[in-house]
Copies of this chain bind each other. A is one copy, B any other.
Amino acid sequence: MDALLTRLRAAVGPDAVLTDPDVTSAYRRDMMPLAPHGRPLAVVLPSDAGQVQEVVRACAAHRTPIVPRGAGSGLSGAANAVEGCVVLVTTRMNRIVEIDPDNRLAVVEPGVVNLDLRGAVEKHGLFYPPDPSSYDWCTIGGNLSTNAGGLCCVKYGVTTDSVLGLEVVLADGELLKTGRRTVKGVAGYDLTKLFVGSEGTLGVITRATLALRPLPQAPATLVATFSRTADAGVAVARVVREGVVPSLMEIMDRTSIRAVEQYLKTDLNADEALLICQSDAGGEAARRDLAVIEQVCRDSGADLTYTTDDLSEGRDLLAARRAVLNALEVYGAWLTDDVCVPRTRIADLIAGCERIGADLGLRIAVVGHAGDGNMHPTIVYDPTSEDEFARARRAFDEILAVGLALGGTVTGEHGIGKIKREWLAKEIGPVGLRVHREIKRALDPENLFNPGSMFS
Protein backbone atom coordinates (compact mmCIF):
# COMPACT_ATOMS: atom_id res chain seq x y z
CA MET A 1 0.00 0.00 0.00
CA ASP A 2 3.07 2.23 0.06
CA ALA A 3 2.58 2.86 -3.64
CA LEU A 4 -0.97 4.10 -2.99
CA LEU A 5 0.17 6.38 -0.16
CA THR A 6 2.92 7.81 -2.34
CA ARG A 7 0.41 8.52 -5.08
CA LEU A 8 -2.05 10.09 -2.62
CA ARG A 9 0.70 12.33 -1.21
CA ALA A 10 1.59 13.41 -4.72
CA ALA A 11 -2.07 14.17 -5.40
CA VAL A 12 -2.98 16.25 -2.36
CA GLY A 13 0.37 17.07 -0.75
CA PRO A 14 1.95 15.21 2.19
CA ASP A 15 0.18 17.37 4.82
CA ALA A 16 -3.19 16.27 3.51
CA VAL A 17 -2.58 12.53 3.92
CA LEU A 18 -2.94 11.32 7.51
CA THR A 19 -1.84 7.83 8.48
CA ASP A 20 -0.96 8.02 12.18
CA PRO A 21 -3.64 5.85 13.86
CA ASP A 22 -3.84 8.29 16.80
CA VAL A 23 -4.88 10.94 14.30
CA THR A 24 -6.93 8.88 11.88
CA SER A 25 -8.97 7.33 14.67
CA ALA A 26 -10.84 10.65 14.92
CA TYR A 27 -12.14 9.97 11.41
CA ARG A 28 -13.27 6.42 12.01
CA ARG A 29 -16.88 7.06 12.90
CA ASP A 30 -19.73 9.52 13.06
CA MET A 31 -22.12 10.24 15.98
CA MET A 32 -24.03 6.94 15.89
CA PRO A 33 -22.68 4.57 18.55
CA LEU A 34 -24.34 1.46 17.10
CA ALA A 35 -22.69 1.50 13.69
CA PRO A 36 -19.67 -0.68 12.94
CA HIS A 37 -16.45 1.02 11.87
CA GLY A 38 -13.05 -0.14 10.68
CA ARG A 39 -9.55 1.35 10.64
CA PRO A 40 -8.73 3.49 7.63
CA LEU A 41 -5.48 3.01 5.75
CA ALA A 42 -5.33 6.77 5.40
CA VAL A 43 -7.36 9.93 5.73
CA VAL A 44 -6.99 12.40 2.84
CA LEU A 45 -8.12 16.00 2.79
CA PRO A 46 -8.23 17.27 -0.80
CA SER A 47 -8.50 20.98 -1.51
CA ASP A 48 -10.32 20.95 -4.84
CA ALA A 49 -12.17 18.78 -7.34
CA GLY A 50 -9.01 18.05 -9.31
CA GLN A 51 -7.41 16.56 -6.19
CA VAL A 52 -10.55 14.52 -5.53
CA GLN A 53 -10.29 13.13 -9.06
CA GLU A 54 -6.66 12.16 -8.44
CA VAL A 55 -7.52 10.48 -5.13
CA VAL A 56 -10.37 8.53 -6.73
CA ARG A 57 -8.18 7.40 -9.63
CA ALA A 58 -5.41 6.33 -7.24
CA CYS A 59 -7.77 4.35 -5.02
CA ALA A 60 -9.47 2.77 -8.05
CA ALA A 61 -6.09 1.66 -9.39
CA HIS A 62 -5.26 0.09 -6.03
CA ARG A 63 -8.79 -1.29 -5.47
CA THR A 64 -8.95 0.53 -2.17
CA PRO A 65 -12.41 1.61 -1.00
CA ILE A 66 -13.19 5.28 -0.48
CA VAL A 67 -15.46 6.53 2.29
CA PRO A 68 -16.44 10.17 1.68
CA ARG A 69 -16.97 12.25 4.80
CA GLY A 70 -17.86 15.76 5.89
CA ALA A 71 -17.75 16.85 9.52
CA GLY A 72 -18.89 13.48 10.86
CA SER A 73 -22.11 14.69 12.48
CA GLY A 74 -24.10 11.88 10.85
CA LEU A 75 -26.30 9.50 12.83
CA SER A 76 -26.30 6.38 10.64
CA GLY A 77 -22.63 5.45 10.32
CA ALA A 78 -22.72 6.28 6.60
CA ALA A 79 -19.37 8.06 6.94
CA ASN A 80 -17.81 5.34 9.11
CA ALA A 81 -14.54 3.90 7.86
CA VAL A 82 -14.39 0.39 6.51
CA GLU A 83 -11.25 -1.60 7.26
CA GLY A 84 -8.31 -0.51 5.11
CA CYS A 85 -10.20 2.24 3.28
CA VAL A 86 -9.27 5.78 2.42
CA VAL A 87 -11.48 8.29 4.23
CA LEU A 88 -11.91 11.24 1.88
CA VAL A 89 -12.68 14.31 4.01
CA THR A 90 -14.17 17.33 2.23
CA THR A 91 -13.76 19.89 5.03
CA ARG A 92 -10.91 21.73 3.29
CA MET A 93 -13.11 22.34 0.27
CA ASN A 94 -15.06 25.01 2.10
CA ARG A 95 -15.41 27.92 -0.29
CA ILE A 96 -18.67 29.69 -0.96
CA VAL A 97 -17.92 30.11 -4.65
CA GLU A 98 -20.78 32.43 -5.54
CA ILE A 99 -23.93 34.04 -4.19
CA ASP A 100 -26.28 35.33 -6.92
CA PRO A 101 -29.06 37.30 -5.21
CA ASP A 102 -30.86 38.19 -8.46
CA ASN A 103 -31.30 34.53 -9.35
CA ARG A 104 -31.52 33.48 -5.68
CA LEU A 105 -28.84 30.79 -5.80
CA ALA A 106 -25.49 29.95 -4.27
CA VAL A 107 -22.64 27.76 -5.52
CA VAL A 108 -20.66 26.07 -2.76
CA GLU A 109 -18.02 23.47 -2.13
CA PRO A 110 -19.06 20.49 0.01
CA GLY A 111 -17.02 21.43 3.08
CA VAL A 112 -18.92 24.65 3.77
CA VAL A 113 -20.53 24.49 7.21
CA ASN A 114 -24.32 24.85 7.07
CA LEU A 115 -24.29 27.78 9.52
CA ASP A 116 -21.63 29.62 7.50
CA LEU A 117 -23.77 29.40 4.38
CA ARG A 118 -26.84 30.56 6.29
CA GLY A 119 -24.95 33.57 7.58
CA ALA A 120 -23.44 34.46 4.22
CA VAL A 121 -26.74 34.41 2.34
CA GLU A 122 -28.61 36.20 5.13
CA LYS A 123 -26.47 39.27 4.39
CA HIS A 124 -28.25 39.34 1.01
CA GLY A 125 -31.69 38.95 2.58
CA LEU A 126 -31.75 35.29 1.57
CA PHE A 127 -32.41 32.02 3.31
CA TYR A 128 -31.05 28.49 2.93
CA PRO A 129 -33.78 26.41 4.63
CA PRO A 130 -32.30 22.98 5.54
CA ASP A 131 -31.42 23.16 9.24
CA PRO A 132 -30.40 19.82 10.75
CA SER A 133 -29.83 20.02 14.51
CA SER A 134 -26.08 19.97 13.90
CA TYR A 135 -26.32 23.02 11.61
CA ASP A 136 -23.57 24.85 13.48
CA TRP A 137 -20.96 22.23 12.53
CA CYS A 138 -22.31 19.87 9.85
CA THR A 139 -21.27 20.46 6.23
CA ILE A 140 -23.36 21.01 3.13
CA GLY A 141 -21.68 17.95 1.57
CA GLY A 142 -22.90 15.76 4.42
CA ASN A 143 -26.35 17.37 4.22
CA LEU A 144 -26.48 16.57 0.50
CA SER A 145 -25.30 13.01 0.99
CA THR A 146 -27.93 12.24 3.61
CA ASN A 147 -30.64 14.51 2.18
CA ALA A 148 -30.74 16.13 5.60
CA GLY A 149 -33.85 17.71 7.07
CA GLY A 150 -34.33 19.70 10.24
CA LEU A 151 -36.95 21.81 11.93
CA CYS A 152 -37.78 23.78 8.77
CA CYS A 153 -39.08 20.86 6.72
CA VAL A 154 -42.76 21.21 7.55
CA LYS A 155 -42.81 24.37 5.45
CA TYR A 156 -39.60 24.37 3.39
CA GLY A 157 -38.88 20.72 2.57
CA VAL A 158 -35.62 18.79 2.87
CA THR A 159 -32.18 19.31 1.30
CA THR A 160 -33.10 17.85 -2.09
CA ASP A 161 -35.76 20.55 -2.46
CA SER A 162 -33.02 23.21 -2.35
CA VAL A 163 -30.56 21.69 -4.83
CA LEU A 164 -30.40 22.81 -8.46
CA GLY A 165 -27.26 21.02 -9.58
CA LEU A 166 -24.15 19.12 -8.52
CA GLU A 167 -20.63 18.40 -9.59
CA VAL A 168 -19.65 14.82 -8.72
CA VAL A 169 -16.45 12.81 -9.14
CA LEU A 170 -17.41 9.37 -10.45
CA ALA A 171 -15.73 6.04 -9.81
CA ASP A 172 -13.44 6.36 -12.84
CA GLY A 173 -12.36 9.85 -11.77
CA GLU A 174 -14.47 11.68 -14.38
CA LEU A 175 -16.27 14.83 -13.33
CA LEU A 176 -20.05 14.73 -13.83
CA LYS A 177 -22.10 17.92 -13.85
CA THR A 178 -25.79 17.49 -13.11
CA GLY A 179 -28.71 19.88 -13.09
CA ARG A 180 -28.59 23.56 -13.90
CA ARG A 181 -28.69 27.12 -12.61
CA THR A 182 -32.28 27.76 -13.68
CA VAL A 183 -35.32 27.33 -11.46
CA LYS A 184 -36.82 24.69 -13.72
CA GLY A 185 -35.26 22.14 -16.06
CA VAL A 186 -36.14 18.65 -17.30
CA ALA A 187 -33.25 17.86 -19.63
CA GLY A 188 -32.59 14.16 -19.03
CA TYR A 189 -32.84 12.04 -15.90
CA ASP A 190 -32.87 13.85 -12.58
CA LEU A 191 -29.33 12.79 -11.66
CA THR A 192 -29.10 15.59 -9.11
CA LYS A 193 -31.77 14.05 -6.93
CA LEU A 194 -30.31 10.58 -7.45
CA PHE A 195 -26.98 11.66 -5.94
CA VAL A 196 -28.64 13.62 -3.12
CA GLY A 197 -29.26 11.10 -0.33
CA SER A 198 -27.03 8.43 -1.91
CA GLU A 199 -24.82 8.53 1.19
CA GLY A 200 -21.48 8.52 -0.58
CA THR A 201 -22.12 5.26 -2.42
CA LEU A 202 -22.20 6.66 -5.98
CA GLY A 203 -19.53 9.36 -6.11
CA VAL A 204 -17.96 12.33 -4.32
CA ILE A 205 -19.88 15.61 -4.49
CA THR A 206 -17.39 18.41 -5.11
CA ARG A 207 -19.71 21.35 -5.74
CA ALA A 208 -23.41 22.21 -5.43
CA THR A 209 -25.69 24.88 -6.85
CA LEU A 210 -28.32 25.62 -4.22
CA ALA A 211 -31.66 27.42 -4.52
CA LEU A 212 -32.23 30.14 -1.93
CA ARG A 213 -35.45 31.70 -0.65
CA PRO A 214 -36.37 35.15 0.56
CA LEU A 215 -35.49 35.55 4.25
CA PRO A 216 -38.70 34.87 6.16
CA GLN A 217 -40.18 37.18 8.79
CA ALA A 218 -39.20 36.79 12.44
CA PRO A 219 -41.38 33.96 13.74
CA ALA A 220 -44.26 34.16 16.20
CA THR A 221 -44.42 31.21 18.62
CA LEU A 222 -47.16 29.14 20.21
CA VAL A 223 -46.84 26.54 22.95
CA ALA A 224 -49.63 24.11 23.86
CA THR A 225 -49.59 21.50 26.63
CA PHE A 226 -51.66 18.36 26.83
CA SER A 227 -52.48 15.87 29.58
CA ARG A 228 -53.11 13.17 26.96
CA THR A 229 -50.64 12.41 24.17
CA ALA A 230 -53.44 11.24 21.90
CA ASP A 231 -54.97 14.73 22.11
CA ALA A 232 -51.71 16.28 20.93
CA GLY A 233 -51.68 13.80 18.05
CA VAL A 234 -55.23 14.78 17.12
CA ALA A 235 -54.22 18.45 17.25
CA VAL A 236 -51.37 17.87 14.77
CA ALA A 237 -53.65 16.06 12.31
CA ARG A 238 -56.26 18.80 12.59
CA VAL A 239 -53.72 21.56 12.00
CA VAL A 240 -52.78 19.75 8.77
CA ARG A 241 -56.46 19.41 7.91
CA GLU A 242 -57.14 23.11 8.58
CA GLY A 243 -54.65 23.97 5.86
CA VAL A 244 -52.31 25.96 8.09
CA VAL A 245 -48.62 25.50 7.26
CA PRO A 246 -46.52 26.53 10.28
CA SER A 247 -42.80 27.08 9.77
CA LEU A 248 -42.06 24.79 12.72
CA MET A 249 -44.18 22.28 14.65
CA GLU A 250 -42.32 20.18 17.22
CA ILE A 251 -43.61 17.71 19.78
CA MET A 252 -42.14 16.53 23.10
CA ASP A 253 -43.47 13.55 25.05
CA ARG A 254 -43.66 13.15 28.83
CA THR A 255 -40.16 11.68 29.17
CA SER A 256 -38.61 14.58 27.23
CA ILE A 257 -40.60 17.12 29.22
CA ARG A 258 -39.51 15.69 32.61
CA ALA A 259 -35.86 15.48 31.52
CA VAL A 260 -35.82 19.08 30.31
CA GLU A 261 -37.61 20.33 33.44
CA GLN A 262 -34.91 18.70 35.58
CA TYR A 263 -32.11 19.95 33.38
CA LEU A 264 -33.27 23.54 32.95
CA LYS A 265 -34.73 23.73 36.49
CA THR A 266 -38.00 24.96 35.08
CA ASP A 267 -41.67 24.02 35.04
CA LEU A 268 -43.06 23.51 31.56
CA ASN A 269 -46.60 23.06 32.95
CA ALA A 270 -47.00 20.14 30.61
CA ASP A 271 -48.20 16.78 31.76
CA GLU A 272 -48.01 14.31 28.86
CA ALA A 273 -47.17 16.23 25.70
CA LEU A 274 -46.06 19.64 24.54
CA LEU A 275 -46.40 21.17 21.08
CA ILE A 276 -44.27 24.12 19.92
CA CYS A 277 -45.32 25.85 16.71
CA GLN A 278 -43.98 28.85 14.86
CA SER A 279 -45.21 30.88 11.92
CA ASP A 280 -42.84 33.05 9.92
CA ALA A 281 -45.58 34.37 7.62
CA GLY A 282 -45.18 37.80 9.25
CA GLY A 283 -47.57 40.21 10.99
CA GLU A 284 -51.26 39.62 10.48
CA ALA A 285 -50.76 36.36 8.56
CA ALA A 286 -48.64 34.83 11.35
CA ARG A 287 -51.17 35.91 13.97
CA ARG A 288 -53.95 34.32 11.92
CA ASP A 289 -51.98 31.06 11.50
CA LEU A 290 -51.24 30.78 15.21
CA ALA A 291 -54.82 31.72 16.16
CA VAL A 292 -56.07 28.79 14.05
CA ILE A 293 -53.52 26.44 15.63
CA GLU A 294 -54.40 27.69 19.12
CA GLN A 295 -58.11 27.06 18.52
CA VAL A 296 -57.35 23.59 17.14
CA CYS A 297 -55.22 22.77 20.20
CA ARG A 298 -57.98 23.93 22.58
CA ASP A 299 -60.62 21.99 20.68
CA SER A 300 -58.37 18.94 20.86
CA GLY A 301 -58.11 19.18 24.64
CA ALA A 302 -55.01 21.27 25.33
CA ASP A 303 -54.63 22.29 28.98
CA LEU A 304 -52.76 25.49 28.27
CA THR A 305 -51.84 27.52 25.21
CA TYR A 306 -49.54 30.50 25.06
CA THR A 307 -48.66 32.68 22.06
CA THR A 308 -45.99 35.34 21.67
CA ASP A 309 -44.61 37.35 18.81
CA ASP A 310 -41.63 38.39 20.91
CA LEU A 311 -38.60 36.89 19.19
CA SER A 312 -36.44 36.26 22.24
CA GLU A 313 -39.31 34.80 24.21
CA GLY A 314 -40.01 32.49 21.27
CA ARG A 315 -36.35 31.47 21.28
CA ASP A 316 -36.56 30.69 25.01
CA LEU A 317 -39.61 28.50 24.45
CA LEU A 318 -37.86 26.66 21.65
CA ALA A 319 -34.82 26.21 23.90
CA ALA A 320 -36.75 23.56 25.83
CA ARG A 321 -37.07 21.51 22.66
CA ARG A 322 -33.44 22.04 21.75
CA ALA A 323 -32.29 21.02 25.25
CA VAL A 324 -33.70 17.48 25.10
CA LEU A 325 -30.53 15.61 24.13
CA ASN A 326 -28.37 17.49 26.63
CA ALA A 327 -31.02 16.90 29.30
CA LEU A 328 -31.01 13.18 28.62
CA GLU A 329 -27.23 12.95 29.00
CA VAL A 330 -27.74 13.39 32.74
CA TYR A 331 -29.19 9.87 32.76
CA GLY A 332 -26.66 8.16 30.51
CA ALA A 333 -25.62 7.90 26.90
CA TRP A 334 -28.29 8.39 24.25
CA LEU A 335 -29.11 6.65 21.02
CA THR A 336 -31.45 8.58 18.79
CA ASP A 337 -33.70 6.81 16.35
CA ASP A 338 -35.31 8.34 13.28
CA VAL A 339 -38.63 7.21 11.95
CA CYS A 340 -41.26 9.06 9.94
CA VAL A 341 -44.93 8.15 10.15
CA PRO A 342 -48.08 9.59 8.55
CA ARG A 343 -49.00 12.68 10.57
CA THR A 344 -52.17 10.99 11.81
CA ARG A 345 -50.13 8.26 13.54
CA ILE A 346 -47.79 10.32 15.73
CA ALA A 347 -49.64 9.53 18.97
CA ASP A 348 -49.57 5.82 18.07
CA LEU A 349 -45.82 5.97 17.60
CA ILE A 350 -45.34 7.67 20.97
CA ALA A 351 -47.55 5.04 22.62
CA GLY A 352 -45.49 2.31 20.94
CA CYS A 353 -42.26 3.81 22.27
CA GLU A 354 -43.71 3.98 25.80
CA ARG A 355 -44.61 0.31 25.56
CA ILE A 356 -41.14 -0.64 24.29
CA GLY A 357 -39.47 1.40 27.04
CA ALA A 358 -41.60 -0.29 29.71
CA ASP A 359 -41.00 -3.79 28.26
CA LEU A 360 -37.25 -3.35 28.07
CA GLY A 361 -36.81 -1.28 31.22
CA LEU A 362 -35.39 1.72 29.34
CA ARG A 363 -36.00 5.44 29.35
CA ILE A 364 -37.14 6.41 25.83
CA ALA A 365 -37.87 10.08 25.18
CA VAL A 366 -39.77 10.99 22.03
CA VAL A 367 -39.17 14.35 20.40
CA GLY A 368 -39.76 15.13 16.81
CA HIS A 369 -40.92 17.17 13.92
CA ALA A 370 -44.66 16.71 14.39
CA GLY A 371 -45.47 18.81 11.34
CA ASP A 372 -44.05 16.20 9.01
CA GLY A 373 -44.37 13.07 11.20
CA ASN A 374 -40.61 12.66 11.56
CA MET A 375 -40.02 11.44 15.12
CA HIS A 376 -36.77 10.92 17.01
CA PRO A 377 -37.37 8.46 19.85
CA THR A 378 -34.20 8.70 21.92
CA ILE A 379 -33.11 5.77 24.04
CA VAL A 380 -31.08 6.40 27.18
CA TYR A 381 -28.67 3.68 28.29
CA ASP A 382 -25.69 3.04 30.54
CA PRO A 383 -22.72 2.69 28.19
CA THR A 384 -20.82 0.62 30.76
CA SER A 385 -23.52 -2.05 30.85
CA GLU A 386 -23.36 -4.53 28.01
CA ASP A 387 -26.79 -5.80 28.87
CA GLU A 388 -28.33 -2.36 28.78
CA PHE A 389 -26.61 -1.54 25.50
CA ALA A 390 -28.04 -4.77 24.04
CA ARG A 391 -31.52 -3.77 25.23
CA ALA A 392 -31.06 -0.26 23.77
CA ARG A 393 -30.18 -1.80 20.47
CA ARG A 394 -33.27 -3.99 20.63
CA ALA A 395 -35.44 -0.96 21.44
CA PHE A 396 -33.91 0.85 18.45
CA ASP A 397 -35.08 -1.97 16.16
CA GLU A 398 -38.49 -2.38 17.78
CA ILE A 399 -39.19 1.31 17.25
CA LEU A 400 -38.48 0.88 13.54
CA ALA A 401 -40.86 -2.08 13.41
CA VAL A 402 -43.59 0.04 15.01
CA GLY A 403 -42.90 2.87 12.54
CA LEU A 404 -43.13 0.55 9.53
CA ALA A 405 -46.33 -1.05 10.87
CA LEU A 406 -47.88 2.42 11.13
CA GLY A 407 -47.24 3.00 7.41
CA GLY A 408 -44.02 4.91 8.01
CA THR A 409 -40.44 4.75 6.84
CA VAL A 410 -37.36 3.60 8.77
CA THR A 411 -35.59 6.90 8.23
CA GLY A 412 -37.00 10.37 7.76
CA GLU A 413 -33.70 12.24 7.61
CA HIS A 414 -30.70 10.44 9.16
CA GLY A 415 -30.26 7.83 6.45
CA ILE A 416 -29.57 4.09 6.27
CA GLY A 417 -25.78 4.08 6.50
CA LYS A 418 -24.23 1.09 8.21
CA ILE A 419 -26.93 0.72 10.81
CA LYS A 420 -30.26 0.17 9.05
CA ARG A 421 -29.27 -1.96 6.06
CA GLU A 422 -31.59 -4.83 6.94
CA TRP A 423 -34.37 -2.30 7.55
CA LEU A 424 -33.90 -0.79 4.11
CA ALA A 425 -34.31 -4.28 2.67
CA LYS A 426 -37.48 -4.76 4.71
CA GLU A 427 -38.92 -1.43 3.68
CA ILE A 428 -38.24 -1.54 -0.06
CA GLY A 429 -38.48 -5.29 -0.67
CA PRO A 430 -36.52 -7.50 -3.05
CA VAL A 431 -37.41 -5.64 -6.25
CA GLY A 432 -36.44 -2.30 -4.73
CA LEU A 433 -33.19 -3.75 -3.46
CA ARG A 434 -32.40 -5.23 -6.86
CA VAL A 435 -32.88 -1.84 -8.52
CA HIS A 436 -30.55 -0.27 -5.93
CA ARG A 437 -27.89 -2.86 -6.73
CA GLU A 438 -28.32 -2.34 -10.48
CA ILE A 439 -27.87 1.42 -10.19
CA LYS A 440 -24.88 1.03 -7.87
CA ARG A 441 -23.25 -1.46 -10.25
CA ALA A 442 -23.92 0.79 -13.24
CA LEU A 443 -22.22 3.82 -11.66
CA ASP A 444 -19.66 2.12 -9.44
CA PRO A 445 -18.96 -1.32 -10.94
CA GLU A 446 -15.93 -2.01 -8.73
CA ASN A 447 -17.82 -1.05 -5.55
CA LEU A 448 -15.25 1.64 -4.79
CA PHE A 449 -17.45 4.10 -2.88
CA ASN A 450 -18.54 3.28 0.66
CA PRO A 451 -18.91 -0.47 0.08
CA GLY A 452 -21.41 -2.23 2.32
CA SER A 453 -23.10 1.00 3.34
CA MET A 454 -26.87 1.37 2.74
CA PHE A 455 -27.08 -2.12 1.18
CA SER A 456 -24.73 -4.81 -0.05
Contacts and interface: CB of A to CB of B under 8 A. Distances in A.
A409 B185 contact: yes
Interface string A319-361: 0000000000000000000001111100000000000000000
B187 A342 contact: no
Nearest to A175: B431
Contact of A432 (B103, B176, B413): B176
B191 A435 contact: yes
B243 A184 contact: no
A214 B154 CA distance: 13
A188 to B, nearest CB: 5
A101 B188 CA distance: 33
A442 B438 contact: yes
A181 B342 contact: yes
A190 B193 contact: yes
Interface in A61-81: none
Contacts of A194: 189-190, 193-194
B435 A443 contact: yes
Contact of A183 (B174, B283, B343): B343
Interface residues of A, number: 90
A193 B160 contact: yes
A56 B129 CA distance: 42
A431 B181 contact: no
A181 B340 CA distance: 10
A428 B165 CA distance: 12
Nearest to A339: B182
Contacts of A182: 340-342, 372-374, 407-409, 412
A134 to B, nearest CB: 16
Interface stretch (A4-12, A90-98, A145-153): A145-153
A416 B188 contact: yes
B432 A374 contact: no
A369 B187 CA distance: 17
Given A243-B215, A284-B284, A177 B432 contact: yes
A364 interface: no
6 contacts: A180-B408, A182-B342, A185-B411, A187-B427, A190-B193, A282-B285
